Homo-oligomer: A and B are copies of this chain.
Amino acid sequence: MVTIKDVAREAKMSVATVSRVLNGSGPVSEETRRLISEVAGRMRYVPHSGARSLITSKTQTLGVLLPDLYGEFFSEVIRGMDDTAQRNGFHLLISRAYADRHGIETAIRAMRGRADGVVVMSPDLDAESLLNLPSTIPVVLLCSVSRGNEIDSLTIQNCRGAREMVGHLISVGHRRIAIIKGSPRNYDAAERLRGYRMSLREAGIMLDPLLEREGDFTEAAGYSAVLELIALKNRPTAIFAANDSMAIGALSALRESGIAVPEEMAVAGFDDIPLARYMDPPLSSVHVPIWELGARAVELLLHGITHKNDHPRRRERVSTKLVIRRSTGGVPAERPPPQTLKRKLVSV
Protein backbone atom coordinates (compact mmCIF):
# COMPACT_ATOMS: atom_id res chain seq x y z
CA MET A 1 0.00 0.00 0.00
CA VAL A 2 1.35 3.39 -0.96
CA THR A 3 1.98 5.74 1.96
CA ILE A 4 2.72 9.40 2.26
CA LYS A 5 6.41 8.52 2.38
CA ASP A 6 6.24 6.89 -1.03
CA VAL A 7 4.64 9.98 -2.46
CA ALA A 8 7.25 12.21 -0.83
CA ARG A 9 10.09 10.11 -2.17
CA GLU A 10 8.62 10.03 -5.66
CA ALA A 11 8.08 13.78 -5.67
CA LYS A 12 11.42 14.42 -4.02
CA MET A 13 9.76 16.39 -1.27
CA SER A 14 9.34 15.91 2.45
CA VAL A 15 6.31 14.22 3.93
CA ALA A 16 5.40 17.46 5.63
CA THR A 17 5.03 19.25 2.34
CA VAL A 18 3.02 16.42 0.90
CA SER A 19 0.75 16.50 3.90
CA ARG A 20 0.35 20.24 3.53
CA VAL A 21 -0.64 19.96 -0.08
CA LEU A 22 -3.09 17.16 0.53
CA ASN A 23 -4.77 18.97 3.38
CA GLY A 24 -4.53 22.41 1.89
CA SER A 25 -2.91 23.56 5.10
CA GLY A 26 0.08 25.86 5.35
CA PRO A 27 1.90 27.69 2.59
CA VAL A 28 3.06 25.82 -0.51
CA SER A 29 4.42 27.14 -3.74
CA GLU A 30 2.08 26.70 -6.64
CA GLU A 31 4.72 24.71 -8.45
CA THR A 32 5.22 22.07 -5.78
CA ARG A 33 1.51 21.86 -5.09
CA ARG A 34 0.89 20.92 -8.69
CA LEU A 35 3.76 18.48 -8.72
CA ILE A 36 2.67 16.73 -5.57
CA SER A 37 -0.99 16.52 -6.50
CA GLU A 38 0.03 15.03 -9.81
CA VAL A 39 2.27 12.43 -8.20
CA ALA A 40 -0.24 11.57 -5.52
CA GLY A 41 -2.96 11.18 -8.08
CA ARG A 42 -0.82 9.03 -10.32
CA MET A 43 0.16 6.78 -7.45
CA ARG A 44 -3.47 6.60 -6.34
CA TYR A 45 -2.49 7.60 -2.90
CA VAL A 46 -5.18 7.61 -0.27
CA PRO A 47 -4.34 8.59 3.30
CA HIS A 48 -4.73 5.82 5.83
CA SER A 49 -7.73 6.97 7.81
CA GLY A 50 -6.70 5.06 10.90
CA ALA A 51 -3.38 6.85 11.10
CA ARG A 52 -5.02 10.14 10.42
CA SER A 53 -7.70 9.67 13.05
CA LEU A 54 -5.02 8.71 15.51
CA ILE A 55 -3.52 12.16 15.38
CA THR A 56 -6.55 14.28 14.60
CA SER A 57 -8.81 12.28 16.87
CA LYS A 58 -11.47 12.53 14.20
CA THR A 59 -12.73 9.59 12.20
CA GLN A 60 -15.10 11.22 9.74
CA THR A 61 -17.42 8.37 10.57
CA LEU A 62 -20.82 8.30 12.21
CA GLY A 63 -22.04 5.27 14.07
CA VAL A 64 -25.63 4.16 13.58
CA LEU A 65 -27.21 1.79 16.04
CA LEU A 66 -30.45 0.27 14.90
CA PRO A 67 -32.87 -2.27 16.29
CA ASP A 68 -34.55 -4.85 14.07
CA LEU A 69 -36.11 -2.67 11.44
CA TYR A 70 -37.91 -3.79 8.37
CA GLY A 71 -38.73 -2.75 4.90
CA GLU A 72 -39.24 0.74 3.72
CA PHE A 73 -38.58 2.40 7.03
CA PHE A 74 -35.13 0.91 7.42
CA SER A 75 -33.96 1.66 3.92
CA GLU A 76 -35.38 5.14 3.80
CA VAL A 77 -33.99 6.29 7.12
CA ILE A 78 -30.55 5.04 6.19
CA ARG A 79 -30.81 6.71 2.84
CA GLY A 80 -31.51 10.01 4.55
CA MET A 81 -28.59 9.52 6.89
CA ASP A 82 -26.16 8.47 4.21
CA ASP A 83 -27.06 11.31 1.88
CA THR A 84 -26.51 13.84 4.62
CA ALA A 85 -23.38 12.18 5.95
CA GLN A 86 -21.76 11.97 2.54
CA ARG A 87 -22.57 15.56 1.76
CA ASN A 88 -20.57 16.44 4.86
CA GLY A 89 -17.72 14.07 4.16
CA PHE A 90 -18.72 11.42 6.64
CA HIS A 91 -19.10 7.67 6.42
CA LEU A 92 -21.72 5.53 8.09
CA LEU A 93 -20.87 2.65 10.39
CA ILE A 94 -24.07 0.73 10.76
CA SER A 95 -24.75 -1.85 13.39
CA ARG A 96 -27.79 -3.61 14.67
CA ALA A 97 -27.88 -3.85 18.42
CA TYR A 98 -30.04 -5.49 20.97
CA ALA A 99 -32.38 -2.94 22.35
CA ASP A 100 -31.51 -3.57 25.97
CA ARG A 101 -29.38 -1.16 27.86
CA HIS A 102 -26.33 -3.37 28.07
CA GLY A 103 -26.34 -3.99 24.35
CA ILE A 104 -26.56 -0.31 23.53
CA GLU A 105 -23.82 0.68 25.90
CA THR A 106 -21.52 -2.04 24.68
CA ALA A 107 -22.18 -1.11 21.09
CA ILE A 108 -21.53 2.55 21.71
CA ARG A 109 -18.34 1.83 23.54
CA ALA A 110 -17.21 -0.44 20.71
CA MET A 111 -17.45 2.60 18.48
CA ARG A 112 -14.65 4.36 20.30
CA GLY A 113 -11.98 5.32 17.83
CA ARG A 114 -14.31 4.31 15.02
CA ALA A 115 -16.93 7.01 15.04
CA ASP A 116 -17.16 10.66 16.03
CA GLY A 117 -20.75 10.32 17.15
CA VAL A 118 -23.62 7.88 17.23
CA VAL A 119 -27.24 7.89 16.20
CA VAL A 120 -29.07 5.52 18.48
CA MET A 121 -32.44 4.21 17.51
CA SER A 122 -33.96 2.11 20.18
CA PRO A 123 -37.68 2.69 20.43
CA ASP A 124 -38.08 -0.28 22.71
CA LEU A 125 -35.80 1.09 25.34
CA ASP A 126 -36.89 3.14 28.28
CA ALA A 127 -35.13 6.42 27.94
CA GLU A 128 -33.65 6.57 31.41
CA SER A 129 -31.58 3.52 30.71
CA LEU A 130 -29.44 5.59 28.43
CA LEU A 131 -28.64 8.17 31.04
CA ASN A 132 -25.27 6.83 32.05
CA LEU A 133 -23.79 6.89 28.62
CA PRO A 134 -20.19 7.98 28.37
CA SER A 135 -21.02 11.62 27.92
CA THR A 136 -17.92 12.26 25.90
CA ILE A 137 -19.24 11.10 22.56
CA PRO A 138 -22.10 12.96 20.91
CA VAL A 139 -25.30 10.93 20.71
CA VAL A 140 -28.61 11.55 19.02
CA LEU A 141 -31.61 9.53 20.08
CA LEU A 142 -33.90 8.64 17.22
CA CYS A 143 -37.52 7.75 17.92
CA SER A 144 -37.11 7.84 21.65
CA VAL A 145 -36.41 10.49 24.24
CA SER A 146 -34.36 10.79 27.37
CA ARG A 147 -35.86 11.82 30.68
CA GLY A 148 -33.99 15.03 31.08
CA ASN A 149 -32.55 17.12 28.35
CA GLU A 150 -29.08 15.70 28.39
CA ILE A 151 -29.29 13.92 25.04
CA ASP A 152 -30.36 15.31 21.68
CA SER A 153 -33.41 13.54 20.39
CA LEU A 154 -35.49 13.44 17.28
CA THR A 155 -38.91 11.88 17.15
CA ILE A 156 -41.98 11.60 14.99
CA GLN A 157 -45.13 13.57 15.76
CA ASN A 158 -46.78 10.31 16.66
CA CYS A 159 -49.40 11.55 19.02
CA ARG A 160 -50.60 14.38 16.85
CA GLY A 161 -50.66 12.20 13.75
CA ALA A 162 -52.69 9.50 15.45
CA ARG A 163 -55.01 12.07 16.96
CA GLU A 164 -55.69 13.60 13.58
CA MET A 165 -56.34 10.27 11.92
CA VAL A 166 -58.74 9.12 14.59
CA GLY A 167 -60.30 12.56 14.49
CA HIS A 168 -60.92 12.05 10.80
CA LEU A 169 -62.57 8.71 11.45
CA ILE A 170 -64.81 10.35 14.00
CA SER A 171 -65.62 13.19 11.63
CA VAL A 172 -66.95 10.79 9.03
CA GLY A 173 -69.28 9.29 11.61
CA HIS A 174 -67.48 6.48 13.38
CA ARG A 175 -67.98 5.97 17.09
CA ARG A 176 -66.68 2.48 17.67
CA ILE A 177 -63.08 2.76 16.59
CA ALA A 178 -60.60 0.00 17.35
CA ILE A 179 -56.85 0.31 17.47
CA ILE A 180 -54.23 -2.29 16.68
CA LYS A 181 -51.46 -1.16 18.98
CA GLY A 182 -47.76 -1.82 18.84
CA SER A 183 -45.71 -3.10 21.72
CA PRO A 184 -46.32 -1.10 24.90
CA ARG A 185 -42.56 -0.81 25.35
CA ASN A 186 -42.21 0.88 21.97
CA TYR A 187 -42.08 4.63 22.16
CA ASP A 188 -43.72 5.29 18.80
CA ALA A 189 -46.44 2.79 19.52
CA ALA A 190 -47.13 4.24 22.94
CA GLU A 191 -47.42 7.76 21.55
CA ARG A 192 -49.76 6.68 18.79
CA LEU A 193 -51.93 4.96 21.33
CA ARG A 194 -51.95 8.14 23.37
CA GLY A 195 -53.11 10.11 20.34
CA TYR A 196 -55.88 7.59 19.70
CA ARG A 197 -57.19 7.83 23.24
CA MET A 198 -56.88 11.57 23.30
CA SER A 199 -58.91 11.88 20.15
CA LEU A 200 -61.68 9.65 21.46
CA ARG A 201 -61.86 11.52 24.74
CA GLU A 202 -62.06 14.82 22.93
CA ALA A 203 -65.10 13.53 21.10
CA GLY A 204 -66.62 12.28 24.31
CA ILE A 205 -66.34 8.64 23.28
CA MET A 206 -65.77 6.10 26.05
CA LEU A 207 -62.61 4.04 25.76
CA ASP A 208 -63.32 0.36 25.35
CA PRO A 209 -60.45 -1.95 26.34
CA LEU A 210 -61.85 -4.62 24.05
CA LEU A 211 -61.20 -2.38 21.09
CA GLU A 212 -57.49 -2.10 21.88
CA ARG A 213 -55.60 -5.09 20.52
CA GLU A 214 -51.90 -5.49 20.81
CA GLY A 215 -49.74 -6.13 17.77
CA ASP A 216 -46.07 -6.06 16.90
CA PHE A 217 -46.03 -4.01 13.70
CA THR A 218 -46.15 -7.04 11.38
CA GLU A 219 -48.74 -7.94 8.77
CA ALA A 220 -49.42 -11.16 10.64
CA ALA A 221 -50.26 -9.22 13.80
CA GLY A 222 -52.71 -7.01 11.94
CA TYR A 223 -54.25 -10.06 10.35
CA SER A 224 -54.92 -11.90 13.57
CA ALA A 225 -56.00 -8.81 15.47
CA VAL A 226 -58.77 -8.34 12.93
CA LEU A 227 -59.93 -11.90 13.35
CA GLU A 228 -60.39 -11.17 17.03
CA LEU A 229 -62.11 -7.83 16.46
CA ILE A 230 -64.70 -9.15 14.06
CA ALA A 231 -65.53 -11.93 16.48
CA LEU A 232 -66.64 -9.34 19.00
CA LYS A 233 -70.35 -9.14 19.83
CA ASN A 234 -70.21 -5.41 19.39
CA ARG A 235 -67.96 -4.94 16.41
CA PRO A 236 -66.09 -1.72 15.70
CA THR A 237 -66.84 0.12 12.48
CA ALA A 238 -63.33 1.41 12.01
CA ILE A 239 -59.82 0.18 12.70
CA PHE A 240 -56.78 2.32 13.24
CA ALA A 241 -53.57 0.33 12.90
CA ALA A 242 -50.45 1.78 14.50
CA ASN A 243 -48.49 1.18 11.31
CA ASP A 244 -49.12 0.33 7.68
CA SER A 245 -47.84 -3.23 7.82
CA MET A 246 -50.51 -4.13 10.36
CA ALA A 247 -53.09 -2.20 8.36
CA ILE A 248 -52.23 -4.29 5.32
CA GLY A 249 -52.58 -7.46 7.32
CA ALA A 250 -55.91 -6.13 8.54
CA LEU A 251 -57.14 -5.47 5.00
CA SER A 252 -56.19 -9.00 4.05
CA ALA A 253 -58.12 -10.52 6.95
CA LEU A 254 -61.20 -8.39 6.27
CA ARG A 255 -61.16 -9.37 2.62
CA GLU A 256 -61.01 -13.06 3.46
CA SER A 257 -63.80 -12.60 5.97
CA GLY A 258 -65.97 -10.98 3.33
CA ILE A 259 -66.18 -7.67 5.12
CA ALA A 260 -66.22 -4.72 2.75
CA VAL A 261 -63.77 -1.87 3.24
CA PRO A 262 -64.65 0.92 3.78
CA GLU A 263 -68.41 0.23 3.66
CA GLU A 264 -68.56 -2.19 6.59
CA MET A 265 -65.23 -1.35 8.13
CA ALA A 266 -62.92 1.60 7.71
CA VAL A 267 -59.18 0.99 7.99
CA ALA A 268 -56.33 3.44 8.54
CA GLY A 269 -52.61 3.01 8.98
CA PHE A 270 -49.55 4.97 9.98
CA ASP A 271 -46.31 5.68 8.05
CA ASP A 272 -47.72 6.00 4.53
CA ILE A 273 -45.28 3.61 2.94
CA PRO A 274 -45.17 3.80 -0.87
CA LEU A 275 -47.27 0.67 -1.14
CA ALA A 276 -50.17 2.18 0.76
CA ARG A 277 -51.74 3.76 -2.30
CA TYR A 278 -51.61 0.49 -4.19
CA MET A 279 -53.63 -1.45 -1.67
CA ASP A 280 -57.23 -2.48 -2.23
CA PRO A 281 -58.73 -0.15 -1.31
CA PRO A 282 -55.93 2.42 -1.23
CA LEU A 283 -54.96 2.86 2.37
CA SER A 284 -55.47 6.05 4.34
CA SER A 285 -52.42 6.68 6.44
CA VAL A 286 -50.39 9.19 8.41
CA HIS A 287 -47.47 10.23 6.31
CA VAL A 288 -44.04 10.15 7.96
CA PRO A 289 -41.13 11.85 6.19
CA ILE A 290 -38.68 9.04 6.81
CA TRP A 291 -35.82 10.34 4.68
CA GLU A 292 -35.99 13.65 6.49
CA LEU A 293 -35.96 11.82 9.79
CA GLY A 294 -32.62 10.21 8.98
CA ALA A 295 -31.21 13.34 7.42
CA ARG A 296 -32.15 15.51 10.37
CA ALA A 297 -30.76 13.03 12.86
CA VAL A 298 -27.39 13.24 11.15
CA GLU A 299 -27.56 17.01 11.06
CA LEU A 300 -28.17 17.12 14.78
CA LEU A 301 -25.29 14.73 15.34
CA LEU A 302 -22.91 16.75 13.19
CA HIS A 303 -23.88 19.82 15.15
CA GLY A 304 -23.00 18.05 18.36
CA ILE A 305 -19.69 16.92 16.94
CA THR A 306 -18.81 20.39 15.73
CA HIS A 307 -19.47 21.76 19.16
CA LYS A 308 -17.59 18.96 20.88
CA ASN A 309 -20.78 17.83 22.55
CA ASP A 310 -20.82 21.05 24.52
CA HIS A 311 -24.01 22.55 23.15
CA PRO A 312 -27.54 23.14 24.36
CA ARG A 313 -29.46 19.93 23.83
CA ARG A 314 -32.31 19.85 21.37
CA ARG A 315 -35.47 17.85 21.27
CA GLU A 316 -37.07 17.94 17.84
CA ARG A 317 -40.05 16.39 16.12
CA VAL A 318 -40.64 15.77 12.44
CA SER A 319 -44.20 16.49 11.54
CA THR A 320 -46.66 14.07 10.01
CA LYS A 321 -49.39 14.61 7.47
CA LEU A 322 -52.78 13.04 7.07
CA VAL A 323 -53.23 11.19 3.78
CA ILE A 324 -56.83 10.19 3.21
CA ARG A 325 -57.52 7.54 0.60
CA ARG A 326 -60.41 5.19 0.03
CA SER A 327 -59.95 2.79 2.96
CA THR A 328 -61.56 5.30 5.31
CA GLY A 329 -64.44 6.01 2.95
CA GLY A 330 -66.10 9.06 1.57
CA VAL A 331 -63.25 10.13 -0.63
CA PRO A 332 -62.77 9.63 -4.37
CA ALA A 333 -60.13 7.13 -5.37
CA GLU A 334 -56.67 8.58 -5.70
CA ARG A 335 -55.26 7.37 -8.94
CA PRO A 336 -51.54 6.76 -8.80
CA PRO A 337 -49.72 9.02 -11.24
CA PRO A 338 -48.87 7.01 -14.35
CA GLN A 339 -45.18 7.78 -14.20
CA THR A 340 -44.00 9.70 -11.21
CA LEU A 341 -40.58 8.17 -11.06
CA LYS A 342 -39.36 9.70 -7.86
CA ARG A 343 -37.21 6.62 -7.62
CA LYS A 344 -34.36 6.39 -9.99
CA LEU A 345 -32.16 3.33 -10.16
CA VAL A 346 -34.03 0.74 -8.26
CA SER A 347 -32.87 -2.79 -7.91
CA VAL A 348 -34.50 -6.14 -7.35
Contact = CB atoms under 8 A, between A and B. Distances in A.
Interface of A: 1, 44, 46-51, 53-54, 59, 61, 67-75, 78-79, 82-83, 86, 91-96, 99, 109-110, 112-114, 121, 123-124, 134, 136, 143, 156, 183, 186, 188, 216-221, 223-224, 227, 243, 245, 248-249, 251-252, 255-256, 271, 274-275, 277-280, 288, 333, 335-341, 343-348
B347 A67 contact: yes
Contact of A53 (B50, B219, B347): B50
A347 B54 contact: no
State the number of copies, please.
Answer: 2
B271 A252 contact: no
A156 B347 CA distance: 13
Given A50-B51, A50-B59, 10 more contacts: A71-B71, A74-B78, A78-B94, A92-B93, A93-B93, A123-B348, A217-B348, A220-B341, A223-B336, A252-B278
Contact of A82 (B95, B227, B252): B95
Contact of A251 (B71, B156, B278): B278
A243 B1 CA distance: 42
Nearest to A57: B1
Given A112-B1, A220-B337, A280-B280, A345 B183 contact: yes
A48 B53 CA distance: 10
25 contacts: A1-B136, A44-B109, A46-B110, A46-B112, A49-B112, A50-B53, A50-B113, A50-B114, A51-B113, A61-B93, A69-B75, A70-B343, A71-B72, A71-B274, A93-B93, A124-B347, A143-B348, A183-B345, A217-B347, A219-B336, A220-B338, A220-B340, A227-B338, A249-B278, A256-B333
Contacts of A271: 348
A248 B44 CA distance: 46
A344 B223 CA distance: 16
A136 B1 CA distance: 8
A346 B251 contact: no
